[in-house]
Structure 1
Amino acid sequence: MRDAWVPIYGLTVSDSACVAVTCWDHQFDPILEHLDKPQVEKVLRRLHPAWFECVDNAVRERYGDGALLEFLDPDVMNRKWMIGVMFSNLADDKDAAAAVAVDKVLPLSLRVFEESSNKPSKLDYVRAAAAGAAQGGARGWAATAQIHGAAQWLSAMGS
Structure 2
Amino acid sequence: MPIFYQKEDSRQVHTLDVPEYVTLVEIVRSVSGGVEVDLKVFEEDGDVVLTEEMLVEILRSKPHPKLHFHSHHELKVTVHFNGREITRTAPPAMTIHRLKQWADDRFGIDAAHAPEHVLQLSGTTERPAGSTHLGTLTPKHQHHVSFDLVPNERFQG
Same fold (TM over 0.5): no
Q: TM-score, normalised by structure 2?
A: 0.23
The two structures have a TM-score, normalised by structure 1, of 0.23
More helix by share: 1
Q: Which has more strand, going by share of residues?
A: 2
